[in-house]
Amino acid sequence: QPNLWYFLEVKATIHNAALSFDVRMNGESWLSASGINTRQSSTNAYVNQMYLVRNYTATVYVDDVYILDTAGATCNDFPGDVRISVIAPNGDGASAQWTCSTGSSHYQLVDENPYSLMHYLYTRGLNNIDLLDYVDISGSPTIIAVAFSFMAYKDDAGARSVAGVVRHSGTNNVNGTNVALSSTASWLKIFYETNPGTGAAWLVADFNAAQFGLKLTA
């Protein structure tokens, strides 16, 4: 119906015979099937594109899009009616080894919305870490996962990469997967399905006490 928000969830297994899929609207299953071949003509057994298509001329708004897979012990099934909250930095953290493009406040150079490439943090020092505090979450919501988003690029020849850092209970936990940088400023994300400091699901208190940042790894 027009002028209403709907929460849509789709779960599918891509397979030549053992497909199953379930489409849910506002938590209720509206369409499901199994035993159907959903592979394309090649042998590929994965999804590489997703479309949200409208069938009438009215304006359609889409918000809070997320994609999960079945790997690991978390974030592999319907999470239910959830939303994505954008949380900005609001203070400098325990490590400030990157250089400010201007001034001395690190977080104020990367907290703009919309973003600005006129203010930034930079480093050429291998293993330099910069951490930031973030606005606290209020209430007691269930945190499904944390996505650390940042815009970055390299300004010289040669390979450059960074890794995410989460500081929990006084310890820096460095993400084991490096993120390669290109010469064009790009939005990048590092996902934390669990708290790397505990290996368990995120608690609101742990998130509020944590600091997030980057380490130059190459």
Find the mean pLDDT for residues 103-132: 95
Burial 130-153 (b: 16+ CB within 10 A, else e): bbbbbeeeeeeeebbbbebebebe
Mean pLDDT of 188-198: 95
Contact predicate 175/165, CB 8 Å: yes
Pairing verdict, β 211-216 and 129-134? antiparallel
DSSP-derived letter for residue 205 is H
pLDDT of the residue at 93: 98
CA 38 to mean position of chain CA atoms: 28
The three-state secondary structure class of 204 is: helix
Query: In the predicted model, what is the mean pLDDT of residues 75-96?
Result: 93
* pLDDT recorded at residue 16: 74
Report the C-alpha gap between 78 and 127 in whole angstroms.
38
pLDDT at 37: 75
Q: Give the whole-angstrom CA distance, residue 134 versus residue 174.
A: 18
Backbone angles phi, psi at 56, to 5 degrees: -150, 175
Q: Within 10 Å of residue 32's Cβ, how many Cβ atoms?
A: 12
Q: What is the reported pLDDT for 210?
A: 98
Residues constituting the chain: 218
Residue 51: the pLDDT is: 81
pLDDT band at residue 15 under the 50/70/90 scheme: confident
pTM for this model (two decimals): 0.86
Whether residue 110 has pLDDT greater than 80: yes
Is 98 a residue whose pLDDT tops 90? yes
* DSSP sequence for 61-73: ---------S-SS
At 24-80, the pLDDT tens digits run 999 999 999 888 777 766 666 677 777 877 777 778 888 888 888 888 888 988 988
Pairing of strands 129-134, 146-152: unpaired
- Give the pLDDT mean for 79-97: 95
pLDDT at residue 135 above 90?
Answer: yes
